[in-house]
Amino acid sequence: MKNSKIVIYAGMIIATIIWSLSFIWYKEVFVYLKPITTVFLRLVFSGVFLVIISLLLNQLQNIQAKHLKTFLLLTLFEPFLYFIGESVGMQYVSSTMGAIIISTIPLFIPFTAYYFLGEKLSLKNFLGIIISIVGVLLVILSNSFELGGTIIGISIMFMAVFSALIYVVILMKLSKHYSILTIITFQNGIGAIYFLPVFLIFEYQHFRQVEISWDLMTPLLELSFLASGFAFIFFTIAMKKIGVSKANVLINLIPVFTAIFAYFMLGEQIGLQKIFGIVLVISGLFLSQMKLKSKS
């Protein structure tokens, strides 16, 4: 039992590191590809990969007709709206800032759980949210307290945050009927279909002129197989075994890892203000994720 928990937590930490690195990989891919193209190819590659994994593990279930609309709605919010927000937003913010904004998703989960799942908000939840919001402001503001990124970029990144919250609610409903691997496989496949017309209309002509190289394919495949594949598998296994709250606590380490990777790999600077902001965000996130009380 103890060894199995160690394996679960190890897998979760690996997923966290992979998702932290994904913000770096985005920057590397964007040297060659535009955002929609990047996400479309990421979903195509990861979709094929997950179909193979699901079939090998005999985990791919057929979708019931009554759940088709729910799957389409799930995919609309994530990956479609989520990835538009994340990938487009990452063009206008730094890797560290992007990771910090995305890491605020657990902050709003208590509100989502209260409204849709009947879970009460505690004083600790409110304090955690306030502390983390202050931390986010310190990270996205420069030392002179001006925005360190464009307002448009930050706003688009937050669109991804709220899309993820709605996705979690729908995911909880579908997870009662389907395995997580089935849900992830279909959402990536349907997501690729959603992105296909957007890709063809806005970025196909640009993609035709791109020269395929390993400098492009390496981070793209890392995004596809690692970030959209293995990381999701590790995370969902952990979510099933140790619960959503505990799994989300480990996700809170993403901005810490991203800041470290961005410093060494991209040369992004981390001043004392941003370090203090990161500390506040992480502290608030942990506080906000402490056990919630359910309605009687």
How many CA within 13 A on the CB side of residue 3?
Answer: 0
In a domain, 53, yes or no: yes
Q: What percent of the chain has pLDDT over 70?
A: 85
Q: What is the pTM (predicted TM-score) of this model?
A: 0.79
pLDDT at 185: 92
In a domain, 95, yes or no: yes
Q: Does residue 190 register a pLDDT over 80?
A: yes
Tokens of 34: 């535009």
pLDDT at 24: 85
Write the DSSP symbol of residue 294.
Answer: E
Write the DSSP symbol of residue 59.
Answer: -
As a three-state string, the secondary structure of 8-22 is: HHHHHHHHHHHHHHH
Write the DSSP symbol of residue 227.
Answer: I
Which of 196, 180, 3 is closest to 74 using CA atoms? 180
Task: Count CB atoms within 10 A of the CB of residue 155.
Answer: 12
The string of pLDDT tens digits covering residues 58-73 is: 889 999 999 999 999 9
In a domain, 18, yes or no: yes
Q: Does residue 154 register a pLDDT over 80?
A: yes
Is the Cα torsion angle 56, 62, 67, 72 positive or negative in sign?
Answer: positive
d(CA 290, CA 55): 37
d(CA 249, CA 268): 25
Number of helices (H) and strands (E) in the chain: give both, helices first: 15, 2
Number of domains in the chain: 1
In a domain, 224, yes or no: yes
Q: Which residues contact 158 (CB under 8 A, 6 or more apart)?
A: 85, 101
Which of 70, 105, 69 is closest to 85 using CA atoms? 105
In a domain, 266, yes or no: yes
Q: Does residue 120 register a pLDDT over 90?
A: no
Q: Does residue 45 register a pLDDT over 90?
A: yes
Which of 45, 42, 52 is closest to 22 using CA atoms? 42
In a domain, 291, yes or no: no
pLDDT at 296: 40
User: Which domain covers residue 89, as residue numbers?
Assistant: 2-119+149-271
d(CA 224, CA 208): 20
Highest-confidence segment of 36-45, 257-266, 277-286: 36-45
Residue scoring higher pLDDT (257 or 96): 257
In a domain, 47, yes or no: yes
In a domain, 180, yes or no: yes
